[in-house]
Chain A
Amino acid sequence: MRNGLLIDYEFCTGCQSCEVACQKEHGFEAGTWGIRVLDEGPWEVDAKTMNWNKIPTPTTLCDLCAERTQQGKLPSCVHHCLAAVMKYGPIDELVKEMDKKPNQVMFVPGPYICK
């Protein structure tokens, strides 16, 4: 079973702790990321509604914190997430979690099959 990251973007605040936690965990310099928080907004749906979602997206460098998870530890981004909106685990369990509330997204990072 593959492992993945499940992120609740209703409550992801865009704090970018995941980005920096990942950079520090992997020793990435500025300009290199294992995950990036994409800004889906802000734009006005109507005069009273602003659409603004922060979608943390693992990059090709995300190895799901192989070293940490082998030791039984959580990925660094999941551990430090300020809004506690990230979950890590086998995708069948994450799918069950996904069914519990809307506005979640699951990523299953891994090597590209095209290369």
Chain B
Amino acid sequence: MTTTPKIDSGIEDFKNDLGKPWRYEEDGYTVTRACAWSAPGCHPVGCGVKLYVNKDGILEKVEGDENQPITQGRLCMRCLTLTDFTYHPDRVIYPMKRAKEDRGKDKWERITWDEAYDIIEENIQGLKEKYGPESIVVFGGTGREGGPMCGPYGAAMIGTPNACYTQSGYACYIPRVAAGTYVAGVTYPEMDYAGGLPGRYDDPMYKIPEVMITWGKEPLPSNGDGFFGHAVIDVMKRGSKLISIDPRSNWLSTRAVYHLQLRPGTDTALGMAMLNIIISEDLYDHDFVDKYCYGFEQLAERVKTMTPEMAAEICDLDVDDIYGATRMYACADNAAILWGLATDQKANGTQSGHTIIALEAITGNLDIPGGQLLGDVSDSLGDLGFGWKELGPELQNKIIGLYEYPAYVGMVLNSHADLTLEAMETGEPYEIHGGFIASTNLLAGTCAAQPKRWHDAMVKLDFVFAADCWITPTIQCCADVILPLATYAERQSMVGTHYGASPNMLGAVVDAVKVGETKGDLEIQYELGCRLNPGTYERFKDFEDFRSEFRLGNLGMSYEELREKVVVQRNVSYKKYETGKLRPDGKPGFNTPTGRVELYSTMYKQFGEDPLPYYEEPQRSPVSTPELMEEYPFVLTTGARTYAYFHSEGKQIPLLREVNPDPLLEMNPKDAEKLGIIDGEWVKVANEFGECQLKAKVTPIVKEGVVHAQHGFWFPEEDGEEPHLFGVWRCNINELIPHKFVGKLGFGAPFKCVICKVEKLNK
């Protein structure tokens, strides 16, 4: 009998490609082994792929590479359909330009790279001279190499401080990173899934987590931040038990011992109550708290204000489940919290993150096998800060939002999303004239709240260029030049879990095939940077020299060596707070002002935020706005991930579209019955901020009074010209998300907790 060569099988009498070199010949194909990352967009999981290129130089098929120690041959449907993405007739594979007066029209004309660069240089340099470099904004997205490169695209390539991930309150990842950085001096404590250990789950250093909590995270389809989601299944097969904290039942929560189906946006109340139980029942790790925590007494005082009974009321949970789940987590020998995007997506998100780090710390689960793995001080978000120093203080201080939200803007060196939109609209603090759309489809209900406002601001810009694989609605409405972006099968780069900030693995992205004249983000940054901001790039001999510093930085290996190995697992060590590896000065402890995990955060205090976690209701909710509930009786949560798409990407690929053809609104059968809505019917969803149309999916996975909407839909098969723009406004759930409903530090926005009404379309 044969089965997949997974660690958990044991039966292996079949032919496989274990031990094959990075490139080999087979049955008329040249097969290249590599790690997948962008484009298509995905978190930096770096799943192992074998790229089969035929004699004519065509990528004919993609299979999973069983040599990749984490994914071991497994692939999701998005990489399985890479050939359909690569050769899709709509794909942009040559540079193109369009006259400014033809914006919004399908009047693109093929040009050479030289001409494209000439046009960009002339326009961008002209705007820089006339209005200052700060008048140009780089609009960054997620999931492509251009996402984390948004900062360098701005500071290094163009010479503007204003790189902007346009999601209101940067409500994705960075609030969690901020909690990690400010409270514990680490980037992001990820669940340890033995990704860096040669023996994986059987490695003598490793121990599977006795208990896992998925908290506002659906890791199986999302693979957030490069964590291979199905590792959760791997460890569950080996005995890990699961607690799920999520307003929706997802398939995974049906396999959980406890499913705490809380009201959207109330996570901090739950986190505080859990801390309360652990402290009052003396379930915490005294030794760790004594040696490595700061402010335990103050935290204990604070969480007394949130009894489990109060949290049960606030979160709409059974209090016995809160007790049961908390004890199960705290009493486990080792336990891991997988904390997801949902913790970021509310104004109170920083505090949710704070409670989660505090839980991980006081239970002694930080940096132990099968607990929360910490990156050491030399692991960092690779692209952050490249070119920033060279900007000089005058330009640095012009970054939008620095004075209003220093904890946000100063940490991630991004202009504040909401204030950037306001600057584009009002010309305050100064006018914005140019833009670079770097791998973001921000209008398509992906990241920007109130996308029509962004649209109206972007179409006014004097000059806009873009790098992408597709003419998206965002590009169609305002870009003047498009640079064709390579897939991961067409370029050379590297991928690392958590963008390099987690000690799991690094993999080679390898060019197996040439398609049109596409280029990768690295080449675009270097080539355009040499023209637009030569001072920053003149220290590099050539592109290879630039790449090895920028991308391979502290790896200690050339690209060719990495390519030969395909994957490198990173050295893992535990309890680094004992060995000094968490601090630049090599002293034991954590990289915070007090050297400890600051349960009472001196950094928050310095920024004018409460140093201790507190609960705050979402700005719109049955509790904070009861007067609005008659008109808008539903709590709306949005944006759960699917296997078929990475946010707005993939709608043109028939095998993906078939899996998720229409944007769905999940609603409870009892609510549907009350409104006379039947499964599969199109409905109108609206609130005081906007409206859209979605297809009702009547399902018990959401509680009565809660609806969940899919995001990121546009319709590449429909009319792409203005004003229709591929139907991007019809189903755009982000129209219902308000502008600047952010937390005190500027982080977080209620993508997962507003209110709305639902109506039959033809009432």
Contact = CB atoms under 8 A, between A and B. Distances in A.
Given A30-B655, A50-B253, A78-B3, A17 B8 contact: no
Interface in A46-72: 48, 50-52, 54, 71-72
A34 interface: no
Interface string B2-30: 11101011010011100000000000000
Given A17-B74, A89-B1, A89-B2, 14 more contacts: A13-B233, A15-B220, A15-B230, A30-B657, A30-B658, A41-B254, A42-B249, A52-B254, A54-B251, A74-B14, A84-B4, A87-B11, A89-B3, A93-B1
Contacts of A41: 254
Contact of A80 (B73, B252, B254, B657): B73
A83 B233 contact: yes
Q: Across the A-B interface, give the 7 residue pairs with the lowest CB-CB distance, nearest first.
A: A89-B1, A72-B15, A93-B1, A20-B77, A84-B6, A30-B654, A87-B3
B77 A17 contact: yes
Nearest to B73: A79
Contacts of A20: 77, 80-81, 655-656, 659
Given A30-B654, A73-B14, A94 B1 contact: yes
A50 B2 contact: no
Contacts of A11: 233, 236-237, 255
Interface size class of chain A, counting residues whose CB lies under 8 Å from the partner chain:
35 or more
Interface in A1-59: 10-11, 13-17, 19-21, 23-24, 29-31, 41-44, 48, 50-52, 54
21 contacts: A10-B255, A13-B230, A15-B221, A16-B77, A17-B76, A20-B77, A20-B80, A24-B80, A24-B81, A42-B699, A76-B63, A78-B2, A80-B63, A80-B73, A80-B74, A80-B75, A82-B230, A84-B4, A84-B8, A86-B3, A87-B3
B700 interface: yes
A23 B77 CA distance: 10
A79 B700 contact: no
Given A13-B233, A89-B1, A79 B64 contact: yes
B61 interface: yes
Contacts of B220: 13, 15, 82
Contacts of A52: 249, 251, 254
A1 B312 CA distance: 57
Contacts of B72: 84
Contacts of B236: 11
B230 A83 contact: yes
B381 interface: no
B605 to A, nearest CB: 41
B314 interface: no
A11 B73 CA distance: 18
A79 B220 CA distance: 18
B254 A51 contact: yes
A14 B3 CA distance: 18
Nearest to A71: B15
Contacts, number: 133
Contacts of B603: none
A72 B233 CA distance: 27
Most chain-A CB neighbours within 10 Å: which of B61, B73, B80? Answer: B80
Interface of B: 1-4, 6, 8-9, 11, 14-16, 61-64, 66, 72-77, 80-81, 83, 220-221, 230, 233-234, 236-237, 249, 251-255, 259, 643, 654-659, 699-701
Given A17-B76, A72-B14, A89-B2, A43 B233 contact: no
B58 to A, nearest CB: 14
Contact of B251 (A14, A73, A84, A86): A14
Contacts of A44: 700
Nearest to B9: A84
Nearest to A49: B254
Contacts of A87: 1-3, 9, 11
Most chain-B CB neighbours within 10 Å: which of A19, A42, A84, A88? Answer: A84
A106 B233 CA distance: 21
B3 A88 contact: yes
Interface string A74-115: 101011111110111110011001000000000000000000
A21 B249 contact: no
Contacts of B254: 41-42, 50-52
Nearest to A88: B2
Contacts of A19: 77, 659
A16 B72 CA distance: 17
Nearest to B233: A83
Nearest to B230: A82
Nearest to A27: B61
Most chain-B CB neighbours within 10 Å: which of A20, A94, A97? Answer: A20
Contact of A78 (B4, B8, B230): B4
Nearest to B221: A15
A44 B668 CA distance: 12
Contacts of B64: 79-80
Nearest to A11: B233
Contact of A82 (B74, B237, B699): B74
Contacts of A78: 2-4
Contacts of A29: 654
Contacts of A81: 4, 74
Given A50-B249, A79-B63, A97 B1 contact: yes
B4 A86 contact: yes
A26 to B, nearest CB: 11
A50 B15 CA distance: 40
B80 A17 contact: yes
A96 to B, nearest CB: 8
B158 to A, nearest CB: 39
A24 B80 CA distance: 7
